[in-house]
Amino acid sequence: MSARTYPDPVVATFGSTDPDAPLVVLLHGRGSSERDIISLAAQLPRGVAYVAVRAPIAEGAGYAWFANRGVGRPVAASLESTMAWFEDWLDSAAPVGRPVILAGFSGGAAFAGGLILRDPSRFHGAAILYGTLPFDAGVPVNAGRLAHLPVFVAQGDQDQIIPAELLAHTWDYLLSESGAPTVAHRDPGGHGMSGEVVSALGDWIVHRLDFISRRGVPAAGPRSNVTWACLAGRQLPPRRGTRPDVSWTIPQQQLSDNAPADLQEWLAKTIEALPGVSVEPSHISVPGARAFVLDKSTAGAEAFLVPSAGEFAHLHPPHDGSLHLVLPADLAADVVTKGWGRMHPWAGSRLAAGFVMIFGPRDENELAFVEGIVATSHAVAAGDRGAVK
C-alpha cells in the first residue's frame, strides 16, 4: 500500500494560525478522536500551532495508524506506508525549517516513534506518552540514533494496555542507547495522562521552543567520521561493556560501574593542570562536586556549563565519579553513540545542546580517553577552534 492510496487527513486545530509558528502534531491512539486529544492543547503553551491528525486506512475498515491494528507492534510494511503518507502531509503543512514537535499517545506514540527513528533530523522534539517505540518494525534503533533530539517520555506503573516488556524496552532505549536528551516521568496510574504529566509536558515544550528561538539547534541524528583533535589517533573507540545505570531524575548521577577513587583524583589533578584552570565548588551541581573554571576565554556561552562563572566542567563526588562538561554537537553525539556518556536530560532545552555526562574511568586505559575528552572541552571553552577539527 503506497502513501498515495490514503485519503486526505482528518485534522483538528487549536492555537496560533501563524504559518511560521512552531507546530506541535498530536497523534492519538485507538479509542480516542482528534477532538479528544486536541483538548490537551488547551492545557499546553500558547503561541503554538497544534494539529491533531489521522489517516483512515485505505480499505475503509476504520481507523488505525497501522493496518494490522496491533498495540505497539506494527508490521514494517504497514508502518512504512503510513509514515510515507504522513511525511507527504507534513511537507505541505510545515515546510522544512518550521519547528515541528510530535506528541503521540498510546498507538500514536508508536507512530511518532517510528517517524523520529526514520528521520530524526526532520523533527525538533518528540513526546512518547504511555506507549512504545515500534521495535522490530523496520526502523533503525541503533546507538546514537536520536542524538540531539530532545524527547519527553511518560509511563504509568499500572498500564494494562501496552505490554510491559515494550514499555520497559522503550524506557531503557530512550534513556540510554538512543542518545536522546530525555526528560522522563513515571506516575502510579495506568494508561492515561495525569495532570502532573500534562503540566510537565507543557513546561518541556516551552523550554525547548525557547531554546530553538534563541540559540539554534544542531541537527538531530547519528554522526559519522568524527575526529577528535585531543585524542591519540583522533578517534574515540567504543567503550567496552554495558552502559552504566544513570538516574532518570535530576540531578543526573552515575549509579553503577563507578570509577575507582584513585582514578578520580588523578583525573581531577590532570584537569586542574590544564592552562588557566582553577578549582572551586560547582555553581550548578550537587554538594561536593568540583568545578573546573577558566580564568579567561574567547568562546561563547554555549561552551560552558555555567557561562557566568566560567565553569566548563565539573567532577561529581566520589560515590558517583562521573563528569559533566560541554562538547561541540558532533563530538557529544559521538560520546553517547560510543557509550562513553549520556546527554543531560535538559540538553537543548534549558542547557547547552552539548551538555553531556561522561562516565567515570574504570581503568588507566579509559582514563586516557576521558582525559582527552575533557581536554577537548577545555580547549573549546578556551576558544581554540582547532579542537573541533
Which pLDDT score is estimated for 389?
58
DSSP state of 193: -
Identify the CA nearest to 280 among candidates 269, 271, 298, 292. 292
**In the predicted model, is pLDDT for residue 71 greater than 60?**
no
Q: Mean pLDDT of all residues in the chain? A: 90
Residues of the chain with CATH 3.40.50.1820: 3-215
What is residue 206's three-state secondary structure? helix
Kindly list the distances between the CA atom of residue 111 and the CA atoms of 64, 128, 147, in Å, as whole numbers in the listed order. Answer: 10, 9, 19
What is residue 207's three-state secondary structure? helix
Q: Could you tell me the pLDDT band of residue 234, with boundaries at 50, 70 and 90? A: very high
DSSP state of 285: S
Which pLDDT score is estimated for 30?
65
323, three cell numbers: 563528569
Which pLDDT score is estimated for 1?
39
Which pLDDT score is estimated for 5?
57
**In the predicted model, is pLDDT for residue 70 greater than 60?**
no
10 φ, ψ (degrees, to nearest 5): -100, 125
User: Angle at CA 147, nearest 5°, toward 187 and 277?
Assistant: 100
> Sign (positive/negative) of CA torsion 209, 210, 216, 220?
negative
Widest distance between CA atoms in the chain? 69
What percent of the chain has pLDDT above 70?
90
Architecture of domain 3-215 in this structure? 3-Layer(aba) Sandwich (3.40)
Q: Going by DSSP bridges, is the β-strand pair 49-54/100-105 parallel, antiparallel, or unpaired? A: unpaired
**In the predicted model, is pLDDT for residue 48 greater than 90?**
yes
**In the predicted model, is pLDDT for residue 60 greater than 50?**
no
Which run of H or of E encompasses 357? strand 355-358
User: Angle at CA 162, nearest 5°, toward 161 and 166?
Assistant: 165
Nearby residues of 232 by Cβ (< 8 Å), 6 or more positions away:
368, 372
Q: Could you tell me the pLDDT band of residue 59, with boundaries at 50, 70 and 90? A: very low
Q: Which of 35-44, 186-195, 314-323 has the highest mean pLDDT?
A: 314-323
Q: Which residue has the cell 532518570?
A: 248
**In the predicted model, is pLDDT for residue 347 greater than 80?**
yes
Which pLDDT score is estimated for 362?
98
**In the predicted model, is pLDDT for residue 199 greater than 60?**
yes
**In the predicted model, is pLDDT for residue 2 greater than 60?**
no
Q: Domain 232-388 falls in which CATH fold?
A: Aspartate Aminotransferase, domain 1 (3.90.1150)
The total number of residues written for the chain in this structure: 389
**In the predicted model, is pLDDT for residue 65 greater than 90?**
no
Residues of the chain with CATH 3.90.1150: 232-388
Which pLDDT score is estimated for 61?
36
Rounded Cα gap, residues 375 and 275, in angstroms: 10
The predicted-structure confidence for 118-174, as pLDDT tens digits, reads as follows 999 999 999 999 999 999 888 999 999 999 999 999 999 999 989 999 999 999 999
217, three cell numbers: 539547534
The predicted-structure confidence for 292-343, as pLDDT tens digits, reads as follows 999 888 888 899 999 999 999 999 999 999 999 999 999 999 999 999 999 9
**In the predicted model, is pLDDT for residue 259 greater than 70?**
yes
240, three cell numbers: 567496552
The predicted-structure confidence for 72-122, as pLDDT tens digits, reads as follows 466 677 788 888 889 988 999 999 889 999 999 988 899 999 999 999 999
Which pLDDT score is estimated for 244?
98
Rounded Cα gap, residues 285 and 317, in angstroms: 10
Rounded Cα gap, residues 381 and 352, in angstroms: 13
